[in-house]
Structure 1
Amino acid sequence: MPRPLLKRRSALGLLTALPMAPLLPACSDPEGKARQVIDTDWHRADLLDRLLPAWASRAPTPNGAFRTAFQRDWTPKPDDRVSLTSQARLIYSFAVGHELTKATGRSSPVPYLDLARQGADFLLSAQLDPVHGGFFHTVGLDGSLRVDGKDTYGHAFALLALAELYRIGQDPRHKAAALEAWRVIETSLIDPQGGVYRDVPRNLSPGKGGRTQNPLMHMFEAVQALHRATGEAASGVKRLGDFALYKLLQGLPEAEGGGARIPEWYDEAWRPLPTQQAGGYIDLGHQFEWAHLLTTASSVAPVYAPVAERVLTYALQTGYDDIDGGCGTRAYPDGGKPEKAKGWWQQAECLHALIVCARHTGRNDLWRRYEQTLGLVKDQLLDAPSGSWHAAYRLPCKTGGCEDTLPDPYHMVSLHRVALMG
């Protein structure tokens, strides 16, 4: 059993360096100010006129598997593999496409919900392990098994996809599948310390090797979706959120800005890798993700919201470009110079966090940064010929920092949904 909150290594002590915002419900906006700031026309058009129609016309195959490997001109790459992550992300994206089409009062020739359901049929037939449970890492487009191990990152997205598909489509099969996926995750993918393994063998025996916060973060996202969809698993939200707060979070003193951060890589005992040379770093895009995920989870545990503010404080002070907008990629625990290169998904998560946290706190400086960063995205990230965003790891693309590939739409879909629906 977990120890009482105040007897743990206290995350509450991390809150004293900054004034705490009132603990309002996550994403509250009582005066409707967000609707005056958010460019809803652009978010709607980017998602429903460009991004999702392009993917819906090219990714699906007759058996429900999704292709995700394309060059910028939508030429398929010679890759017949279907990863658990890629399949689940498109199920999620198409389900949200259906939800937002209805919510915005649009009619669409694209049957997004049908596509999501067909993708889930493939997930639950070809990618589900009928012997040990859980989902295979990789199959072929024809459903043939390629890699039989189980990775936690992919399971997080499978849970997210099934939970959201159930919430949106209300098919009880998807509720049952989501709850079973969470059962397997709780019993086999969460390690004895309360974090998660990176991966495990097919038989779900304990995983080996170092740890990383990334699958934990996305599992925190997914179990929140399960809780919203079914009313269950609130204890799972708190279990993973508390592990992040009481085990991983590093508070910084006021002299260093008073923020807090969650490092990326750890040894098997969840000790963070201490230096850049040892492989330790802080992913700045993930700090923005933690900021909005902790804020939305504050309905389960109110302490998460002020902690989210401190994580956002660190991300803005360390990684945000207050001249041109947008955020960088990495900082280092031993004081190395942060990497200011701007990648595509980091900008999506930066915008996502700015919207969620500005709604929650009412801070005008966050709305200013939202408008600034959105200008950067419109100017440098949109790939008009493809209808997608550039796969940029260093902007602007003219410097050679963009790849000839199309990023899957998960990050953009999540951004647009929070902009359009809260």
Structure 2
Amino acid sequence: MAADVAGLRRRPVLALLAALAACSDPASRDRSRIDAAWHRADLDRLLQRWLAHAPQPGGGFQLLFSRDWQPQPQPELELTGQARLVYAFAAGHEITGDARCLDAARRGADYLLDRFVDPVHGGFFHTVAPDGSPRATIKRAYGHAFVLLALTQLYRTGRDARHRDAALKAWNAIRTGFFEAGGGLVNECNRDFKPMGGMHTQNPVMHMFEALLALSEATGDKGVQAGARLLGDFVCYRLLQGQADGGARIPEWYDAAWQPLATKEAGGYIDLGHQFEWAHLLTSGAALSPVYAQVAERVLAYALSAGYDDNDGGCGQRAFPDGARTDASKGWWQQAECLHALVVTAGTSGRNDLWRRYEQTLGLVREQLADAEQGGWRAAYALPCKSGGCKDEQPDPYHMVSLHRAALQQAGALPATGAASR
């Protein structure tokens, strides 16, 4: 009892010392503003549900579920979704140490490498049938970016050289099959990597940049680093549109010559969630070029000005290049990317205005998106759900796992990863 009383007497003193330490250490003070316990708890809920329902006996994943986790018809397995779940489980193991996550990620990667790989032309098919036979044999840069990210995260987590080698082999196929001479990416190719033509979009460029940043960090490969730099420079020097107030934006759709679609009627828009996504990716890639941090700050400024809701937190979905009214409806993944950008950029800059918005948007996510009853997130396409803006489905966990991983890393609850030897 005496020891317990002494311990109680010491607690106020220890709390005071901790507070003084935080005052003298701005980084520690900033880390304390991240609700690490909530990020970890929400991640655990997500992983437990997906582990219980997604893995299939053959190694692939069931991805389509109603909100209460009833499986929905899945006539084919699509590359992007399968790869995103491999990534989510591999990242989940890195954070939690749960061996089931690593096992599911490895089985999922085996399925990708066994069933989706094109044995003739290389690269990965877009879809396969439930029996694993090829169905849509076209090649899409977007799906290949997620394969690269998944294999990289699995190598970083499990340290199996087989996954490193598979990632580098995939990178070689991507480099020769999708990269354009000026730095952009072909969106879609035939089975033999002959470009199919048509419009361009920045979306596969963004996720390929994300995957190459991760692969460069994990392997130290100079060619991978050069590929990331080529894409980053293409966006910063070719696609970026400066604004009169100093902000800058990255349009979503372009014609065959990479000229942005100029009006809403023509299909042109600026995806606000992707502006936040670029803000945190360019911040993370700042070691490649000092320009990237500056561009990240400008893109974030635009995203906050054009799409952030300073009354209730969170962001809208789309702005338009010709001044048409912004679509301010709040979708689930846009809120995840908004929160992701805020926690990364606030942690990097220490700006109080960003921390205020992080706390505000976290409140929105906790109240309206995190589904405590079912363990996933609400599939919101226009919050609030009570107005009918949510679908009866489970959104895949890629955006949420990436958010939680970044928040826990910023909070010091996840070790920073460094380059590994090849």
Q: How does 1:50-199 map to 2 (within 5 A)?
A: 50-102=45-97, 108=98, 111-199=100-188
1:311, CA displacement in angstroms? 0.1
Aligned residue for 2:388?
400
Secondary structure at 1:73's aligned position in 2?
A: coil
Counterpart of 1:5 in structure 2 is none
Which residue pairs with 1:328 in the alignment? 316
Q: Residue 271 of structure 1 aligns to which amino acid in structure 2?
A: Q
Shift in Å at residue 30 of structure 1? 6.5
Question: For residues 66 and 138 of structure 2, what CA distance do their matches in structure 1 show?
Answer: 28
The CA deviation at 1:95 is 0.4
**CA shift for structure 1 position 222:** 0.5
Are 1:382 and 1:389, in contact at CA under 8 Å, matched by a contact in 2? Answer: yes
Q: Residues 316 and 328 of structure 2 are in contact (CA less than 8 Å); yes or no, is this contact kept in structure 1?
A: yes
- Contact 2:42–2:370 at 8 Å: present in 1 too? no
Q: Which moved more, 1:189-198 or 1:231-240?
A: 189-198
CA contact (8 A) 2:278 2:299 kept: yes
Unaligned runs of 5+ in 2: 1-24, 411-422
* 1:253 CA drift (Å): 1.3
The answer to whether the 8 Å contact 2:31/2:347 transfers is no
Cα distance in 2 for residues equivalent to 1:187 and 1:236? 11
The equivalent residue for 2:37 is: 41
Q: CA deviation at 1:144?
A: 1.7
1:190 Cα offset (Å): 1.2
Larger Rg: 2
Identify the match of residue 235 of structure 2 among 237, 241, 244.
244
Residue 244 of structure 2 corresponds to residue 253 of structure 1: yes
Mapped to 1, the partners of 2:226 and 2:325 lie a distance apart of 39
User: Which residue identity lines up with residue 74 of structure 2 in the other structure?
Assistant: D
2:198 is aligned with 1:214 = no
Q: Is the 8 A contact 1:98 1:112 kept in 2?
A: yes
2:339 is the counterpart of 1:369:
no
Larger RCO (CA within 8 A; separation ≥ 6)? 1
Say yes or no: does 1:289 pair with 2:277.
yes
**Is the Cα–Cα contact under 8 Å of residues 247 and 298 in structure 2 kept in the other structure?**
yes
- 1:383 is paired with a residue whose SS is coil
8 Å contact kept, 1:285–1:350:
yes
Partners of 2:135 and 2:69 in 1: CA distance: 25
Q: Which residue matches 2:348?
A: 360
- Report the CA distance between 1:382 and its aligned residue: 1.8
Is the 1:134–1:184 contact (alpha carbons within 8 Å) kept by the matching residues of 2? yes
Normalised to the residue count of structure 2, the TM-score between the two structures is: 0.89
Which residue in 1 is equivalent to 2:21?
Answer: none
Q: After superposition, give the CA deviation of every residue in 1:372-407 in whole Å (9 maximum; x if it has no partner).
A: 000001111122232000111100001111011110
In 2, are the aligned partners of 1:69 and 1:76 still within 8 Å (CA)? yes
How far off its partner does 1:302 sit? 1.4
Question: Cα RMSD (Å) of the superposition?
Answer: 1.1
Runs of 4+ deviating beyond 6 Å: none
The one of 22, 27, 31 equivalent to 1:31 is: 27
Equivalent position amino acid for 1:342 in 2:
K
8 A contact 1:191–1:206 mirrored in 2 = no
8 Å contact from structure 2 (residues 379, 395) kept in 1: yes
Query: Residue 275 in 1 paired to residue 263 in 2?
Result: yes
Alignment deviations for residues 101-122 of structure 1 (CA, whole Å, 9 cap, x no partner): 13xxxxx4x6111110000000
Q: Which amino acid aligns with 2:317?
A: T
Structure 1 residue 262 displacement after superposition: 0.1
Provide the secondary structure at the position in 2 that maps to 1:388: coil
Residue 348 (1) aligns with residue 336 (2): yes
* Corresponding position of 2:414: none
Is the 8 Å Cα contact of residues 55 and 62 (structure 2) preserved in structure 1? Answer: yes
Q: Matched residue of 1:57: which SS?
A: helix
Shift in Å, 1:265 = 0.3
Quick one: distance in 2 between partners of 1:368 and 1:328? Answer: 18
| Displacement of 1:63 | 1.2
Separation in 2, partners of 1:51, 1:273: 38
The Cα offsets for residues 240-277 of structure 1, whole Å up to 9 and x where unpaired, read as 000001110000113xxx20000000000000000001
Question: Any conservation in 2 of the 1:159–1:178 contact (CA below 8 Å)?
Answer: yes
Q: Spell out the pairing of 1:301-316 with structure 2 (5 A cutoff).
A: 301-316=289-304
- Cα separation, 2, equivalents of 1:115 and 1:170: 15
SS in 1 for 2:53: coil
TM-fit CA distance, 1:207: 3.0
Alignment: residue pair count: 384
Query: CA separation in 2, counterparts of 1:340 and 1:384?
Result: 26
The runs of 5 or more residues in structure 1 that have no matched partner are: 1-28, 103-107
Q: Which amino acid aligns with 1:411?
A: H
